[in-house]
Amino acid sequence: MSAGAPAVTSPHPRPADRPPARDGVAAFVLAATAFALVTGETLPVGLLGEIAADLRAPASQVGLSVTVYAAVAAVTAVPLTRLLARWDRRRVLVACAGVFALGHLVTALAPTVAVLMAGRCVSALGHGVYFAVAMPVAARLAAPHRRGRAASRVAVGGASALVVGTPLVTLVGQAWGWRAAATTVVVASLALAVVLARTLPALPGDRGRATDGRLAVTLRAAGLPTVLAVTLLAVAGHFAFFTYLAPYADRELGVRDAGLSLVLLCYGIASVAGSAAGGRIADARPVTSMRVAAAAFTVVPAALWLAGRAGAPVPGAVLLVLSGASFSLVAVLTALAVLRRVDGGRAETANALHSILFQVGILAGSALGSLLARFGAVDAVPLVTAGTGLVVLVVASLAGTAFRAGGVERRPH
């Protein structure tokens, strides 16, 4: 495979008379909006106690708003993306940011948990569609040899929110109240909606997208089921461990308190770096990149298990950080592979499916980790992750064409 092969293709030419620098700005704004959406999604995590006390509700009820948000975003992503298939994509993305802001306005003014939940559900409607459409749009705006890098910026924006956005909005909430934090998300989202409207070009939808995006048709695209299966397996394997990262670090490595906080900060930074690297290397050698990432995703947790058995905290802490980078690299490479499999409306439907399976993988992995913890087997969780990584590596080795460049299956005209 030539190094210059395009990683992500598009059925549409880049808009005429558009300087590359302006498209770079548009990709940055798409990433910034992803940052705002993920920050809003995770807002209750750091302010659970404050929200529960203000609304006089159990913390468990408030915490459920995060689960409900993810469920609504996952369930509505595909049908809403298909429903809006004929809309100009700029109009869709601006509307998503606006709906997200509206939901957070309701959240900020909520007098009860029920109203809080309603506001979160409204925001989730915009969230699911945005992430289905934003990566294909970023790829569509970029030059052919830079489409993987451009699309990955959306993923970097989302990953950065977990490292910067969530702690920042938590600080705002602790200083001025959780409603001020939610209002900050509203203002930022509305501002980004305006900037999206001004920086994105007209990106018309296809008349054939409503039927072309059907799930059955989309899933017949060559290699797509393989990519989606790898996504589900990798996410489940990673989150089986990530959910119990703190107990594992404490019991097996003796890393706790300030040391654990430092490790988690470095973990987040490594995750962002892995996401950014994914877009760069995938444009050059997508199949090789996936195989190397899968190998790292296998070796790192296995080595982490050995560090735990040996009681080696320093190597273990380093491996904890590397586990974030290896997983985020796999996650971005699978997302970009989805965009290579299909085009047009099906690209957005496939991207929505990828997001849904990502959420399902989180739930499945968390449940698996919980089961192991219940049986007192937290020390074995990294081996479970390594096992899933081994399967991903085997699939990437035997079915590497699913991740190759230039693999878009075009619809008949």
How many independent structural domains does the chain possess? 2
158-201 tens-digit pLDDT: 888 878 888 889 889 989 999 999 999 999 999 999 999 999 98
The mean pLDDT of the chain is 84
Percent of the chain whose predicted confidence (pLDDT) is above 90: 38
Predicted local distance difference test score (pLDDT) of residue 394: 95
Please check whether residues 378 and 289 belong to one and the same domain.
yes
The answer on pLDDT for 295 being more than 90 is: yes
Residue 294 lies in a domain: yes
Residue 345 — pLDDT band, cuts 50, 70, 90? low
318 versus 15: the higher-pLDDT residue is 318
19-75 tens-digit pLDDT: 555 667 888 999 999 999 999 988 887 888 899 999 998 888 888 888 888 889 888
The answer on pLDDT for 314 being more than 50 is: yes
Residue 7 lies in a domain: no
Residue 51 lies in a domain: yes
Predicted local distance difference test score (pLDDT) of residue 190: 97
357 versus 408: the higher-pLDDT residue is 357
Predicted local distance difference test score (pLDDT) of residue 368: 87
Residue 405 — pLDDT band, cuts 50, 70, 90? low
Please check whether residues 311 and 222 belong to one and the same domain.
yes
Predicted local distance difference test score (pLDDT) of residue 2: 32
Max avg pLDDT among 136-145, 176-185, 194-203, 341-350: 176-185
The answer on pLDDT for 409 being more than 80 is: no
Residue 2 lies in a domain: no
Predicted local distance difference test score (pLDDT) of residue 104: 97
Please check whether residues 259 and 333 belong to one and the same domain.
yes
Please check whether residues 239 and 311 belong to one and the same domain.
yes
Nearest CA to 131 out of 97, 165, 83, 170 is that of 97
Please check whether residues 199 and 232 belong to one and the same domain.
no
Please check whether residues 302 and 194 belong to one and the same domain.
no
Residue 8 lies in a domain: no
Residue 411 lies in a domain: no
Q: How far apart are CA 241 and CA 353, in angstroms?
A: 24
What are 165-168's contacts with CB under 8 Å, separation 24+?
Answer: 165/35, 165/36, 165/38, 165/39, 165/42, 166/39, 166/42, 166/43, 166/45, 166/46, 167/46, 168/39
The answer on pLDDT for 102 being more than 60 is: yes
Predicted local distance difference test score (pLDDT) of residue 53: 92
Mean pLDDT of 310-330: 92
Residue 211 — pLDDT band, cuts 50, 70, 90? very low
Mean pLDDT of 106-126: 96
Predicted local distance difference test score (pLDDT) of residue 413: 37
Residue 237 — pLDDT band, cuts 50, 70, 90? very high
Mean pLDDT of 73-102: 91
128-137 tens-digit pLDDT: 899 889 988 9
Predicted local distance difference test score (pLDDT) of residue 309: 92
74 versus 307: the higher-pLDDT residue is 307
The answer on pLDDT for 222 being more than 90 is: no
Percent of the chain whose predicted confidence (pLDDT) is above 70: 88
Take residue 99 and report the two structure tokens written for it. Answer: 């709906």
Predicted local distance difference test score (pLDDT) of residue 11: 42
Residue 86 — pLDDT band, cuts 50, 70, 90? confident
Predicted local distance difference test score (pLDDT) of residue 344: 60
Residue 42 domain boundaries:
20-205
Structural domain ending residue among the three candidates 205, 235, 268: 205
pTM: 0.77
The answer on pLDDT for 325 being more than 50 is: yes
* CATH value at residue 397: 1.20.1250.20
Predicted local distance difference test score (pLDDT) of residue 332: 87
Provide the residue type at 64 as one letter. L
351 versus 18: the higher-pLDDT residue is 351
Please check whether residues 43 and 87 belong to one and the same domain.
yes
For tokens 């200083």, the residue is 175
Structural domain ending residue among the three candidates 205, 235, 251: 205
Residue 266 lies in a domain: yes
Residue 5 lies in a domain: no
Structural domain ending residue among the three candidates 149, 179, 205: 205
Please check whether residues 186 and 246 belong to one and the same domain.
no
102 versus 170: the higher-pLDDT residue is 102
Predicted local distance difference test score (pLDDT) of residue 261: 81
